[in-house]
């Protein structure tokens, strides 16, 4: 059995969901009440691969909401409690979705293996980042040409380049796609220099505004402040923006017909899944579309690879991306693509 640990994208959304599920006390409760809420196993599903194999799994809501990010102890407790519930439920491989993998890494939860009577078995959990990185890289590879962007001549900016997903995407862009130049964006200079020196091909470290002004493609793999403003007049046209961060809120910032925002790290399954859990995640086709990190747990279950396939930081290899990518295709997942109507303007222009 596979597991998915997730959370609502805001406190307001979480209250609406609680009301729908009949948890009125939580729906009416304030953030302090939510801080005490235990994780909930919300839904169980069975899904069938293109190969015909069927697997079963469950979705656990950690009852964490992004408004709790500054409450370190609460955030930690939410993630650990959800992992404990996954393990006690007997889920063999569980993906840490949304902010939960970032909380796990940034708050060093490896030191907190004991949760009450349960010793967490790390091999039962995956961040899902290898599949997410592969999906984002493929989204660039497949969609840039539909806008007339030749990747062999293109500059690709990666915002969050030194992160777990960002560094893997950079390696894929440099070695598998061989883009003309990578523009690396993050806040800390040391890791940026280390990354630049490790990459094949040409790459430069730039501040965000300068990178945006030069880029034909921008991959966003950082959680950026809501207050960030971008002047679309300074961007190249056409420009492909792959919004791989969480939450996904870039599309509302652009209106120019030659700036194309694609939700990054999202896959579409070959058939309806028959679940409710993606309804609140702002997907166009919530019955088939899901986060690539969740799909990684499903892939590991389909393949019988009961191991923490994606774990730690900046360990993702191109071989692992290819391996999970091949499994993704085999079982019927496809990276989300731009709609054909949205690409017409840039191709004609």
Question: For binding to ligand NDP (CB under 6 A), which residues are involved?
Answer: 99, 101-102, 129, 132, 159-166, 185-188, 191, 221-224, 244-246, 265, 291-293, 313
Q: Cβ contacts of residue 113 below 8 Å, gap of 6+? A: 119, 120, 122
Is there a contact between 297 and 95 (Cβ–Cβ < 8 Å)? yes
Q: Return the exposure string of 16-50: e unless at least 16 CB atoms fall within 10 Å of the residue's CB, then b.
A: ebbeeeebeebbebeeeebbebebbebeebebbbe
Q: What is the DSSP letter of 317?
A: -
Nearest to 179 by CA among 221, 150, 213, 146: 150
Cα separation, 80 vs 177, whole angstroms: 38
Reading the block at residue 226, the tokens are 């809501």
DSSP E strand boundaries for 26-72: 40-48, 54-61
| C-alpha 306 chain-centroid distance | 21
Cα separation, 155 vs 211, whole angstroms: 9
Cα separation, 275 vs 256, whole angstroms: 35
| C-alpha 132 chain-centroid distance | 5
SS3 of residue 62 by DSSP: coil
Q: Cβ contacts of residue 55 below 8 Å, gap of 6+? A: 1, 2, 46, 47, 49, 298, 301, 302
């Amino acid at each position: 059995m596979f597991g998915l640990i997730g959370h609502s994208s805001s406190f307001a959304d979480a209250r609406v969901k609680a009301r729908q599920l009949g948890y009125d006390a939580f729906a009416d409760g304030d953030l302090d009440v939510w801080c005490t809420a235990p994780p909930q196993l919300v839904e169980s599903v069975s899904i069938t691969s293109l190969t015909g194999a069927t697997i079963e799994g469950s979705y656990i809501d950690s009852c964490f909401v992004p408004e709790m990010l500054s409450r370190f102890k609460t955030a930690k407790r939410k993630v650990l409690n959800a992992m404990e519930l996954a393990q006690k439920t007997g889920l063999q491989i569980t993906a840490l979705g949304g902010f939960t993998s970032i909380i796990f890494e940034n708050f060093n939860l490896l030191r907190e293996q004991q949760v009450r009577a349960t010793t967490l078995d790390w091999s039962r959990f995956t961040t899902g980042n290898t599949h997410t990185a592969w999906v984002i890289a493929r989204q660039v590879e497949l969609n840039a040409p539909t806008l007339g962007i030749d990747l062999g001549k293109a500059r690709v900016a990666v915002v969050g380049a030194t992160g777990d997903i960002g560094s893997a995407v950079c390696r894929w862009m440099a070695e598998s796609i061989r883009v003309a130049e990578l523009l690396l964006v993050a806040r800390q200079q040391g890791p940026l220099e280390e990354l630049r020196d490790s990459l094949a091909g040409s790459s430069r470290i730039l501040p965000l505004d300068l990178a945006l002004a030069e880029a034909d493609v921008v991959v966003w793999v950082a959680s950026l402040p809501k207050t960030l403003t971008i002047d679309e007049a300074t961007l190249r046209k056409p420009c492909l923006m792959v919004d791989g961060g969480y939450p996904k809120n870039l599309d509302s910032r652009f209106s120019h017909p030659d700036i194309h925002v694609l939700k990054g790290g999202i896959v579409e399954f070959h058939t309806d899944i028959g679940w409710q859990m993606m309804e609140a995640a702002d997907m166009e086709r919530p019955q088939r579309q899901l986060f690539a990190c969740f799909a990684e747990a499903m892939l590991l279950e389909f393949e019988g690879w009961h191991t923490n396939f994606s774990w730690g930081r900046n360990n993702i290899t191109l071989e692992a991306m290819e391996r999970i990518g091949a499994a993704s295709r085999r079982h019927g997942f496809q990276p989300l693509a731009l709609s054909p109507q949205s690409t017409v303007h840039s191709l004609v222009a």
